[in-house]
Amino acid sequence: MQILTCPAQLQRLEGILKKSLPLALPVFGAVLNINRGNPGQYEVLVDKWPEFGAVLARPSGEVASGDTGHCRGGMTRCPGRCQVCSGRPWVLPGAGERRLLEHTGSGGRAWSWTSSSTTPTGGSLSPSHVDLLNDTWPYGGNARSRRYLAEILGRFPQVCLQDGSGQPVAWVLTDHFGTGTHSYTLPEQRRRGHMQVALTVAAQRAQARGFPTFG
């Protein structure tokens, strides 16, 4: 396999993979992240260039081993069947379900939405919330998953809704592949539309950065 390090090659690869969606989803998001600063420190390998038949995305300098408690490698074979191990693409609710009202304030971009119930506010998760994330993630509950969640929390976009005291009530995390890896609403806050709002905001932000959304 050949590691692609040339920016021009990586940009060309992004364009090729974009034309092959959704087949190329397992690695497309990783390539997008690499071409936008590479916050996850990933690398892309191809079996040959430019007429490649397989693309692999993995942590730089190592073969993905799953030592973080979650699959970290993604591979696409073109053409043919692909192996998806990066999560799921964003699902954007239908236009009739979107109730977002966005505005820009003096402190930066903020957002809110209409609701028939008590509405949390938009906020951000912080490193102090990593134990909450680890306890509520289906793959969590151990030291490896905690390290993984701390890593993506510090490197990738996330959306969080907070109650009046500033505590998270619902959130969406993204990962190295530009996919939603941990979405959760506290049990006592469910059936109020919070996750729909969080997913919609996350999907819109992903689209603004060039990441695909599917509905």
The pLDDT of residue 160: 96
Q: Judging by beta carbons within 10 Å of its beta carbon (0-12, 13-18, 19+), is residue 81 exposed, middle or buried?
A: exposed
For tokens 């060309």, what's the residue? Answer: 12
CATH number assigned to the domain with residue range 121-209, chosen from the 4 options 3.40.630.30, 1.10.580.10, 3.40.1190.20, 1.10.246.90: 3.40.630.30
The answer to whether the beta carbons of residues 168 and 135 sit under 8 Å apart is no
Say what the pTM is. 0.71
Average pLDDT of adjacent 10-residue blocks, the chain of 215 residues = 94 93 87 94 92 90 48 45 31 30 29 49 93 96 95 94 93 92 94 92 89 74
Kindly state the DSSP code that residue 83 receives in the 8-state scheme: B
Pairing state of beta strands 2-4 and 42-46? Answer: antiparallel
> If you compute the radius of gyration of the chain from its CA atoms, what whole number of angstroms results?
18
Task: Please tell me whether residue 40 adopts helix, strand or coil conformation.
Answer: coil
Report domain extents, the chain: 2-59, 121-209
Q: How far apart are CA 13 and CA 95, in angstroms?
A: 32
Q: Which amino acid is at 183?
A: S
